[in-house]
């Protein structure tokens, strides 16, 4: 059975993006994302797919949720529902839900784990947000805190949660 995980970078006010892009450049978070997801399946929404500079992410099975799966997503699987996306990934050991807001909302009900990077800053001009989480359903199992540095302009925390049994 596959493990389904959410991966997200979230500001202190739950912001995740603006104008189909990220609000920050945090190489440490990008490295963590790459280390977690490389070699595995990733499920994303169409807008997230379109925000990627080269389309699908290399060395991953890319699945795009869209109302127009016939639109021609190069090097990706496209489907209309999370159920269909999970069917496409059924043989994968690890499946990562990588955004955006609507896909995260769907993923919260089925995910086994969450890998969150909390970027410590407020971004009032954000237009995309991580959905509200019922924290009673989740247990924090790992936390690593970091200060801002020359490459990462904001303090940040890597958090790992597992769904309570």
Rounded to a whole number of angstroms, the distance between the first and last alpha carbons of the chain is 16
Judge contact between 57 and 37, C-beta under 8 A: yes
Peptide bond into 109 cis (omega under 30): no
* Residue 72 confidence (pLDDT) above 80: no
**Residue-level pLDDT at 1:** 83
Q: What is the mean pLDDT of residues 139-165?
A: 98
Q: Return d(Cα 4, Cα 44) in angstroms, integer.
A: 13
The pTM assigned to this predicted structure is: 0.96
* HEC assignment per residue over 145-165: EECCCCCCCCCEEEEEEEECC
pLDDT category, 74, cuts 50, 70, 90? Answer: confident
What domains can be seen in the chain, in order of their start residue?
3-163 (3.40.430.10)
Give the SS3 label for residue 142: strand
- Classify strands 41-45 and 94-97 as parallel, antiparallel or unpaired: parallel
Give the SS3 label for residue 8: strand
- Cα 129 to Cα 65, 66, 102, 125, distances in angstroms: 18, 19, 9, 11
Q: Return d(Cα 116, Cα 157) in angstroms, integer.
A: 8
């Amino acid at each position: 059975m596959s493990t389904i995980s959410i991966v997200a970078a979230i500001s202190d006010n739950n912001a995740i993006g603006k104008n189909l892009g990220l609000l920050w450049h945090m190489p440490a978070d990008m490295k963590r994302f790459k280390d977690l997801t490389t070699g595995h399946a990733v499920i994303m929404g169409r807008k997230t797919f379109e925000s990627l500079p080269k389309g699908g992410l290399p060395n991953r099975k890319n699945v795009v949720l869209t109302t127009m799966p016939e639109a021609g997503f190069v090097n990706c699987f496209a489907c209309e529902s999370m159920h269909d996306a999970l069917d496409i990934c059924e043989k994968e050991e690890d499946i990562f839900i990588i955004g955006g807001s609507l896909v995260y909302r769907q993923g919260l009900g089925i995910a086994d784990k969450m890998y969150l990077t909390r970027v410590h800053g407020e971004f009032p001009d954000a237009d995309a947000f991580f959905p509200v989480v019922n924290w009673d359903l989740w247990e924090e199992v790992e936390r690593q805190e970091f200060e801002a540095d020359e490459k990462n302009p904001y303090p940040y925390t890597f958090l790992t949660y597992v769904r309570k049994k």
